[in-house]
Amino acid sequence: MKPVILVLGGGTGGLMTAHFLRNKLGSNCRIIVFEKEEKNVFAPSLLWLMVGKRKTKDVYRSTKLIAKKGIELIKIVLQSTKF
- Residues 13-52 as x/- pattern, contact with ligand FAD by CB under 6 A: xx-------------------xxxx--x--xx-xx-----
Q: Report how far residue 46's alpha carbon sits from residue 30's, in angstroms, rounded to the nearest whole number.
A: 32
Q: How far is the CB of 1 from ligand FAD (least distance, A)?
A: 26
Closest by alpha carbon to 42, among 58, 29, 26? Answer: 58
Q: 3-class SS at 18? A: helix
- Which residue(s) pair with 40 in the sheet? 61
Assess 7 for contact with ligand FAD (CB under 6 A). no
User: Which residues here bind ligand FAD, judged by CB under 6 A?
Assistant: 9-14, 34-37, 40, 43-44, 46-47, 77-78
